[in-house]
Amino acid sequence: MSIRTLIVSASIAAMSVVGVATLTPQTVSAASCSDPKSCLEEGVKGAGGDTKKDDIGPLVKNVVNIMLFILGAAAVIMIVIGGIKYTVSGGDSSAVKSAKDTILYSVVGVVVALLAYAIVNFVIGNVIV
């Protein structure tokens, strides 16, 4: 399994999770949005959700936590696969490079995911709540 396949699979899974929430019709008009909070509340209301501010933040946090868990599990699996590839490379320089790249890209993916998690929590803490 290549890194591209893993990234594409994770992206499709993430879009599927997020896409389910966007399938309901929304009745938000541009004139009713005076600030980001009211736009968000109107969008949730239009999707048939509850407009309590306390309900929006935890929902977004739960979605981000689930996606972070999936990404973390995939990264651990890819690090293990990279380690196995490194072990069985037998000194072949191209196989060693491929194994090191797999491990490197997995670690970079985890760092990007943690930064995304921090950004989402910052936005939820300062804009939504």
Cβ-contact 106, 75 below 8 angstroms: yes
pLDDT for 73-99, tens place per residue? 898 899 999 999 999 998 899 999 999
The DSSP result for 39-100, as a single string, is: HHHHHHHHTT----HHHHHHHHHHHHHHHHHHHHHHHHHHHHHHHHHHHTTTT-HHHHHHHH
Between residues 117 and 81, the one the model is more confident about: 81
Asked if residue 106 lies in contact with residue 78, where contact means CB atoms within 8 angstroms, the answer is yes
The residue with greater pLDDT, 98 or 28, is 98
> If you compute the radius of gyration of the chain from its CA atoms, what whole number of angstroms results?
20
CA distance 37 to 121: 16
Q: What is the pLDDT of residues 41-72, one digit of tens each?
A: 777 676 665 555 556 777 777 888 888 889 88
